[in-house]
Chains A and B, each alone.
Chain A
Amino acid sequence: MVKIGHVIPDFELEAYQNDEIKTLRLSQFRGQWLICSSTRRTLRSSAQRSWRRWPTSTRSSAS
Chain B
Amino acid sequence: MQRLGDGALRMPRPKCDDVGALLRVVRSWPGVVDASITEEWLAVYFADDVEAHVEPSLIRSLDALRVRDPRTRSPSREIEIVVRYDGVDLEDVARACEMSVDRVIALHSSASYDVLFLGFMPGFAYLEGLPPELEVSRLPSPRTHVPQNALAIAGHYTGIYPFASPGGWRLIGTALDVVLFDSARGAYLRAGDRVRFRQAR
Bound pair: A and B? no
